[in-house]
Structure 1
Amino acid sequence: MTRIISSLAEISDRYQALFVDLWGCVHNGVSAFPEAVAALTDYRRRGGIVVLVTNSPKPRAGVATQLAQFGVPAEAYDTIATSGDSARAAMFTGAVGSKVYFMGEWARDEGFFQPLEVIETPTPITRVPLAEAEGIVCCGPFDPMADPAVNRAGFLYAKTKGLKLLCANPDIVVDRGETREWCAGALARLYTEMGGESLYFGKPHPPIYDLARRRLAALGVDIPDSAILAIGDGAQTDIAGAMGEDLDSLFISGGLAAQETATTRDPDPAALEAYLAGEKSAPTYTIGQLRP
């Protein structure tokens, strides 16, 4: 049974580092949550380390720029691990071939195709039409408001050709302000359901946690998993990933599941229990919103 808490400070002394989700926890895709920023800043001031672990398809430099635009100061975190960086590493080692069909918004996702310096001999990547592709790189839908099913015809063709789909963001949906949008994970799920092969690199899958641990180690610290707390609002991404990695977790019930958990400032205990049971999710702790 999860323990409902009112503030991060109630439990933060037990942990030396936090793996913190962004969208729905620290910002809403438009602006920062002031209480969440204060919680992370206070935690770092007391000596804790904050690793932002996000399913964004952006490289970490792009996420840092976006955070500044949203009002999240650099003082709120130490480093960033993105699904995009993990997926880029796979792409540049040839996971889906060298000729790829790109799905997403090019103006937003162009940075995904910037070569990684850590790969000495990267696979040369060329964007081509689907008919010429050896694989698919999916950073998101062309239209985030359109039903993923609009891609069925193209996916049927791709499946017939045996193309793999590299999913740079396993999230199914996000809430941008008050508007819910589809993410790359919804397309990858559809492709898999149709019999295609999807490759995942963000939460809840292991590659992004491996990257997060490497980013943590690069700070010059050696922190055991027992001293890391994973924080997020996605039962099937953040919390499932933490459970799979054997990390303690803090579920933000006021994010994606705000309605289902009847969360205003705090979740309704009965609604929360029913929701977690339905999701087969077992976070160590739950809080309405991240706050000091």
Structure 2
Amino acid sequence: MTEIIRSLADLSGRYDALFCDLWGCLHNGVTPFPAAVAALQGFRANGGKVVLVTNAPRPKSSVVKQLDAMGLPRDTWDDVATSGDATQAAMLSGAAGPRVYHIGAPKDEPFFTDFEQDLAHLVARADITRVPLDQATGVICTGLADDLTETPQDYRGKLLMAKTKGLKLLCANPDIIVDMGDKRLYCAGALAKAYEDMGGESLYYGKPHPPIYDLARRRLGLDDARILCVGDGIHTDVQGGVAEGLDTLFVTGGIAAHEFGPDFDNPDNDLLQAWLQGHQLSATYAIGYLR
């Protein structure tokens, strides 16, 4: 049974490192959550290490710039592993072939230009060209071109064409939806699912799939570390952590907040246990908001 805790400090001494989600856990897409920031700073002050593990479809450098602009203190984390990084590695290794068509927003352009040093060996031997869809050997999906106005239905024609050509779609963000402030937006995962529903093949590199955890472990750089996965996504953060054999802390006040009673800060235990059972998943711990 999932244990509800009041603060991250309740788990003091049990873990060497956190794999911590960003959106819905540490910030809302606009501003950081002060209590969550303080919790991670406290964890690090006591000797723990924090790797921010995010399904952002952009490389680490781009995400760090975004976090800096948002005002997230650098002493909140030790390293960052993104779904974009993991998808870049797959693209550079030839998973989508040599000619790729991009579905995504202008803000995602760093995916094709900014590569972390640990991918340098792949960049050196890769020969990837971006082309129109009718010339492509594969599709890279980082998201919708305009997630403020578009829905997956707007991409049905392109996805049907890709499916007819038998193209693999590399999904750089498995999230289906995300909340930006008070607005709910579709992510790349929604397009990847739509592609699968019409018979296409989608490949995933972010949570809950193994590639991003392999990357996070490499960037953590600790052998036999006791790791706790923290996040608000039941089918990303929790499912991914469970699949990796890691303990999990489910932040109930995030994307599923309305499922656990009117007091988002204090989830109702009966509602929580029933909801988790319905999803056939069980987190090690749960908390209203990370603090």
TM-score (norm 2): 0.95
Kindly state the Cα deviation for residue 125 of structure 1 after the two structures are TM-superposed. Answer: 2.1
Change (3 A) 1:192 1:57: same
Structure 2 counterpart of 1:184: 188
Structure 2 counterpart of 1:222: 223
Structure 1 counterpart of 2:142: 139
**1:202 matched to 2:203:** no
Kindly state the Cα deviation for residue 92 of structure 1 after the two structures are TM-superposed. Answer: 1.0
Structure 1 counterpart of 2:126: 123
Once residues 172 and 123 of structure 2 are traced to their aligned partners in structure 1, the CA distance between those partners, rounded to angstroms, is: 22
What is the SS of the residue equivalent to 2:102? strand
Kindly state the Cα deviation for residue 97 of structure 1 after the two structures are TM-superposed. Answer: 1.3
Question: Considering only aligned residues, what root-mean-square deviation do their CA atoms show, in Å?
Answer: 1.2
Structure 1 counterpart of 2:52: 52
Once residues 118 and 174 of structure 1 are traced to their aligned partners in structure 2, the CA distance between those partners, rounded to angstroms, is: 33
Structure 2 counterpart of 1:39: 39
Moved more, 80-89 or 92-101: 92-101
Structure 2 counterpart of 1:62: 62
Structure 1 counterpart of 2:90: 90
What is the SS of the residue equivalent to 2:121? coil
Moved more, 132-141 or 118-127: 118-127
Deviations 1:65-106 (A, max 9, x none): 111111211100000111100000111111101211111112
Structure 2 counterpart of 1:273: 273
Structure 1 counterpart of 2:74: 74
Give yes or no for contact 1:17–1:223 (8 Å, CA) kept in 2.
Answer: no
What is the SS of the residue equivalent to 1:230? strand
Kindly state the Cα deviation for residue 209 of structure 1 after the two structures are TM-superposed. Answer: 0.3
Amino acid in structure 2 at the alignment position of 1:167: C
Structure 1 counterpart of 2:112: 113
Deviations 1:177-210 (A, max 9, x none): 1111000011101111111111100000000000
Kindly state the Cα deviation for residue 124 of structure 1 after the two structures are TM-superposed. Answer: 2.0
* Aligned residue pairs, count: 285
Once residues 134 and 123 of structure 2 are traced to their aligned partners in structure 1, the CA distance between those partners, rounded to angstroms, is: 30
Structure 2 counterpart of 1:260: 259
Structure 2 counterpart of 1:101: 101
Kindly state the Cα deviation for residue 274 of structure 1 after the two structures are TM-superposed. Answer: 2.4
Structure 2 counterpart of 1:240: 239
Give yes or no for contact 1:98–1:125 (8 Å, CA) kept in 2.
Answer: yes
TM-score (norm 1): 0.95
Once residues 105 and 52 of structure 1 are traced to their aligned partners in structure 2, the CA distance between those partners, rounded to angstroms, is: 23
Give yes or no for contact 2:249–2:285 (8 Å, CA) kept in 1.
Answer: yes
Give yes or no for contact 2:252–2:264 (8 Å, CA) kept in 1.
Answer: no
What is the SS of the residue equivalent to 1:40? helix
Moved more, 77-86 or 256-265: 256-265
What is the SS of the residue equivalent to 2:248? strand
Percent identical: 55
Give yes or no for contact 1:26–1:33 (8 Å, CA) kept in 2.
Answer: yes
> For structure 2, which runs of at least 5 residues remain unmatched after alignment?
none
> For structure 1, which runs of at least 5 residues remain unmatched after alignment?
none
Change (3 A) 1:102 1:18: same
**1:170 matched to 2:171:** no
Give yes or no for contact 2:92–2:123 (8 Å, CA) kept in 1.
Answer: no
Give yes or no for contact 2:58–2:110 (8 Å, CA) kept in 1.
Answer: yes
Structure 2 counterpart of 1:251: 250
- Runs of 4 or more off by more than 3 Å in structure 1? none
Aligned counterparts, 1:3-22, within 5 A:
3-22=3-22
Once residues 128 and 198 of structure 2 are traced to their aligned partners in structure 1, the CA distance between those partners, rounded to angstroms, is: 26
Give yes or no for contact 1:16–1:223 (8 Å, CA) kept in 2.
Answer: no
Amino acid in structure 1 at the alignment position of 2:252: S
Amino acid in structure 1 at the alignment position of 2:223: D
